[in-house]
Amino acid sequence: MNQNGDSRSVSREHCNQMQSFQISLETYDNDKAKGTFNNRIQFLLSALGYAVGYGNIWRFPYMLYKHGGGAFFIPYLSCLFFLVFPMYYLEVAFGQMYKKALHRYYDTIHPKLLGLSFTVAMICFFIAIFYMCLIGWCFAFLLNSFQDPLPWAPKLDENGNISEFSSDYFIKEFLDKSDSMFDIRSYNPTIMVSFTLLMAFVFFSLYRGIHSAKYLSYVIVPLPYFILTVFFIKGLTLEGFISG
């Protein structure tokens, strides 16, 4: 009886080990198919590129000036530490724990949270459209910056005064803004070409998912900070930089 009991316990333990090994193989295959980061640097760069956007670099100084200067830091830092950071870490922890698509891991937590996954997806979709619009304008301005003289440089008006042509150029010539949203004109070829090239770049950068994006993060994420540093150093060499 003891020998039969021991043999059954050994066989049961062997079956459990085989099941655990099979689950490990399935998990490894799923991770390999989805793709994983090779090291922590790739993950940190990707997370930094995801978290830091135009709002942190471009819009933050404007909001700081508009809402009272230093007093703006009080609600900003409060929301940052008590709302943004906890929610961000929670989302990263969910992804690391469940390793599923967005619409699946919320459903795994609770079926009633399925609508939350679609809400998050729609928010990311509209933010991506907003960023693509801004980057498309920047790319078109980059192409126009190779002209000499610059098309947005200040010019003399009919009275011989220097006009601030930069804002007029952006609204009237670059965007070709109409008087009403119902005034539909022909497409803008400059913006259309820049958007098409930008969409193609994003597609070829992400069509393999994380397999291609993790290597691209080595260049895309540090590049804006490098360019801002170059602009800052250049600004220090200009005349009157202390007043500015």
Q: How many percent of the chain have pLDDT more than 70?
A: 76
pLDDT of 10 strictly over 50: no
> Which letter does DSSP use for residue 112 in this model?
G
At CA 49, angle to CA 48 and CA 52, rounded to 5? Answer: 75
pLDDT digits (tens, 9 = 90+) for 137-169: 888 888 888 887 777 777 766 666 666 666 677
pTM of the full structure: 0.64
> Which letter does DSSP use for residue 80 in this model?
I
Q: How far apart are CA 87 and CA 105, in angstroms?
A: 15
What are the residue ranges spanned by the domains of the chain?
Answer: 53-99, 114-205, 208-244
Residue of 12, 85, 66, 45 lying closest to 214 (CA atoms): 45
* CA distances in angstroms from 77 to 53, 64, 70, 72, 144, listed in the order given: 17, 12, 11, 9, 39
Q: Which residue shows structure tokens 């996954």? A: 117
Beta strands, E only, the chain: 155-156, 162-163
The amino acid sitting at 112 is: K
Per-residue pLDDT, 28: 45
Two tokens, residue 131: 């960023």
